[in-house]
Structure formats: C-alpha cells, structure tokens
Structure 1
Amino acid sequence: MRIDIISVVPSLLESPFSHSILKRAIQKGLVEVVLHNLHDYGFGGYKQVDDYPFGGGAGMVMMIEPIDRCLSALKAERNYDEIIYLTPDGERFTQKIANELSLKNNLILLCGHYKGVDERVREHLITREMSIGDYVLSGGELAAAVVADAVIRLIPGVLSDETSALTDSFQDNLLAPPVYTRPEEYKGWKVPEILLSGNHKAIEEWRWEQSLERTRQKRPDLLKNFW
C-alpha cells in the first residue's frame, strides 16, 4: 500500500510514522507513506496556497489550484483508489471503514487547514470526505495520522500477531473485554480465576460475556448494529 498525505505543514506528520508499529511497517516495505508540502505547488515567492473568502468573513481558505496541481502530479504517476479529504463535517471514520481501506492499494489523504478548502475541491477533486469526530482541530494532519495508523495496522504482516487486530474493539461492534497480566495478585487485587484455569473454551465464553457487558455499559449504541 502507498499513502500520500498532502498538507500545508507536513512536518507535523513526521513523528507518527517514525516510531513503533508504523515505522516497522514502512521499514518492512509493507506500506509507503509519502508526505507532500502543498506550498511546493503554491504561487509566488511565498508559495501561497490560501486566500480570503469571497463574500467576506473571518479566516482563510485553501485555494483550489495548488491542490489540483498536486493531485494531478500524483495521479499522473499511479491510479488511486480513494482521494480522501479530512474535514470535521465528513463521514465518521469507523473500524469498518478502516478495514475497507486496508484492502486498497493507493490512497491520498488531503489535510484541511484554515477555514477549509475551496468548495470546488470537494465537488470535483476528491472521492470521499472523512471525520474522526465531532470537533474541530487546527488542521487535518492529526486526523490523517489517525486514519493512516488505523488502516496500516490492519495490513497483513504489520502486527507480529495478526489475530490481535481481529480482537480489537469495534471489529464485531463490541468493545474488547478486560485484559490482565502478571502479577496474578497486586495489593489484594486478583486476576479473575477463569483466566488462570487453562480452559480455553470457558475463557473465550467469559471474554464474550465481558465484551457484551462492557458494551452495554459504555457504548449501548453499538448493540443496535450487533444483533
């Protein structure tokens, strides 16, 4: 998989891909993440990429032409499955969408900034709009990192134990059950006996019941998509 991320401040994205699981995935050649500075496609000595909104109002708007130039340059080199614009009013990003995107070959993530992009970008240049939650960030860079992380960890070979991703919260519309590790007892707080029993069938049943109960308590809204 290749993920191209377009940003006005790409340096914000360097750290997430330089550590831990994502770094190893890149080093293994399982994914290629390429950061693009939109200013490279801007105008004049200042490489302008934004301007005042028509009709007045506060804030600046990302211009269509630098974005079109960048997208055109990328699409001239390869075909992209999705061109995704990160925006607070986009489709809510979910584990189901992460699963779907992990099967793609080439993705572009366009990070919003300022007051957003010229509407014609949304109308003509992108294929999908995505939001990681009902709140506003200073830019789409953190959202792009979240989406990329959620997708990359699902690529076969990225996790040392691939079954780990299959037991994550939301994979089956349930939250993950509680987990424990050594020591068996700490300050009088004990690990549930069932987990020490060696009875794998009983343990799986317990985990299922715990997932269901945890979901009922914390996210009952998920159960409407479960039954």
Structure 2
Amino acid sequence: MIIKILTLFPNFFESFINSSIIGRAISREVVQFEIIDIRKYSTDKNHRVDDRPLGGGAGLIMKLDPLVSCLKDNTNEKSHKILLTPWGKPYNQAKAIELSKKDEIVLICGHYEGVDSRFINYCDELISVGDYVMTGGEIGAMTIADSVVRLLRGAITDSSIEEESFNDGLLEYPQYTYPLNYDGYEVPEILLCGNHEAVAHFRRRESFRITKKYRPDLLENFEYSKKDLKILKELEEGRESKLETQAKIKGAKFIKR
C-alpha cells in the first residue's frame, strides 16, 4: 500500500514514519509513505498558500490552486483522496478496515480556518476524527495512517489484530503482566491456570463487562451468539462458569504467587 500525506508541515511526520510499528512496516516494505509539501505548489513569490475569507470573517483560508495542483501532481486513478475536515463522517475501525484494502490513500491536511470549499469537488471522501477543533489535519492524518497500517498483512501479527478492541464490535479484555500482586491489586487467578479455553471464556466475559461499563453504545446493535448470551447471564449474576472453576482447581498446584 502507498499512503501519501499532503501537508504544509512535512517535518511534522518525520518521527511518525520512523518509529514503532510504522517504521517497521516501512522497512519490511509493507507500506510506502510519501509526505508532500503543499507549499511547494504555490505560485506566489512568497509561497503563500492562504488568503482572507471572502465575505469577511476571522482567520485565513487555504487557497484552491496550490491544493489542486499538489493533488493532481501526486495522484492517479488508483488514489483514494481523503480530506480531513469537520464536515466528514466520523472515523471508526470499520472505515480503517475499508481503507486498508485500497492500493493507495491520499490524506489531505487542512490548516488555518479550513480550505476553499470548492476543493471538496476534487476529493473522494471527507473524514473527521472527532467532534473537536485542532490546529490542522496532521494529527488526524496520523490517526488514520496508524490505524490502517496495523491492519496490513506483515505489519503486526494476525493474532494481535484479531484480539484488538473494536474488531468484533467490543472493547478488548483487560490485560495484565507481572508482578501478580501490586499494592493489593491482583491478577485474576484464571489467567494463571494454563487452560486456554477457560481463559478465552473469561476474557470474552471481561470484554462484555468493559464494553458495558465504558462504551455501552457499542452494544446497541451487537449480534449476540448463543454462547455470548450464556456469558452475559454469568456477568449479570456475578458468577464464573464451571469451566473456569474446574480450571482453577486443576491449575492451583502450578500457580506460584
């Protein structure tokens, strides 16, 4: 996949594309990034890319001609062109999955008070990363790029992708590591029993518990399986399954706290 980012601040992305999962994905040739400076397409002698809003108003507006020139010079028929704007549809994991199947996505970062509104005629899609105001689209572009890249084969392990929050409509279950007891907070015993089926059952119930507590809206249209309904009943009654109880009994002699 190729991800192109059109921005007035290309230096903003230097650390982003050279760090962590993104940096490794680039080195493995899973993804290719191109950071393109919109300002280079200005025909103004001072390389201005903004002007006052017609009709009056505060701030400055990004001019149409450098934006269009930059876009046309860096796209082709395979490019999926996305403008980061409050007008866009809210971004979510389903959209990340959809974008991860594209050959090339182009993320256009607005700035100042926005872009000349005629520019949307040159874009395939408008996306918003949230109902709040930021200085520009750069952080939003990073958000989209990061969430898309981690879905590409070879960026991270398949098992990591499958277990992450939102992939099945729920928040991910809580995670723990050593020490087993810290300041009175203990790791759930079931995670130490060695029974993978029992652990999976516990984690599924924990996903429902966490989702219900923090993001109940995700459950409004959730499609429950028969097994899920049994797990929900356990959650409502505040009990564990027989599978978990037996697993803890059998695994007790192996648990070292």
Q: Which TM-score bucket, shorter chain as reference? A: over 0.9
- Shift of the alpha carbon at 1:105? 0.8
Query: Does 1:207 pair with 2:193?
Result: no
Query: Does 1:141 pair with 2:135?
Result: no
Secondary structure, counterpart of 1:116 in structure 2: coil
Partner of 2:40: 40
- Shift of the alpha carbon at 1:81? 4.1
Partner of 1:155: 152
* Cα deviations by residue, 1:127-147 (Å, 9 ceiling, x for unpaired): 111111100110000100110
AA aligned opposite 1:60: L
Query: Does 1:66 pair with 2:66?
Result: yes
CA distance in 2, matches of 1:104, 1:41: 26
CA distance in 2, matches of 1:137, 1:19: 23
* Cα deviations by residue, 1:167-202 (Å, 9 ceiling, x for unpaired): 111111111111111222233332111111111111
Partner of 1:117: 115
Partner of 1:82: 80
CA distance in 2, matches of 1:200, 1:173: 22
Partner of 1:223: 219
Q: Give 1:192's match in structure 2, choosing from 165, 185, 188.
A: 188
Structure 2 unpaired stretches of 5+? 224-257
CA distance in 2, matches of 1:41, 1:189: 57
- Shift of the alpha carbon at 1:91? 0.8
CA distance in 1, matches of 2:18, 2:126: 26
* Cα deviations by residue, 1:26-57 (Å, 9 ceiling, x for unpaired): 11111111011101100222112111111011
| Identity score, percent | 42
Query: Does 1:169 pair with 2:165?
Result: yes
Q: Give 1:129's match in structure 2, choosing from 126, 131, 135.
A: 126
CA distance in 2, matches of 1:115, 1:225: 37
Q: TM-score, normalised by structure 2?
A: 0.84
Whether the 8 Å contact between 1:172 and 1:226 is mirrored in structure 2 is no
**Count, aligned residues:** 223
CA distance in 2, matches of 1:101, 1:14: 23
Secondary structure, counterpart of 2:194 in structure 1: coil
Partner of 2:176: 180
Structure with the greater relative contact order (CA < 8 A, sep ≥ 6): 1 or 2? 1
AA aligned opposite 1:209: R
Partner of 1:101: 99
- Shift of the alpha carbon at 1:88? 2.1
User: By percentage of residues, which structure has more helix?
Assistant: 2
Secondary structure, counterpart of 2:208 in structure 1: helix
Q: TM-score, normalised by structure 1?
A: 0.95
**Do the aligned partners of residues 36 and 104 (structure 1) sit closer, same or farther apart at CA in structure 2, a change above 3 Å counting?**
same
- Shift of the alpha carbon at 1:109? 0.3
Partner of 1:17: 17
For the pair shown, the structure with the greater C-alpha radius of gyration is: 2
The 4+ residue runs of structure 1 with deviation greater than 6 A are: none
Structure 1 unpaired stretches of 5+? none
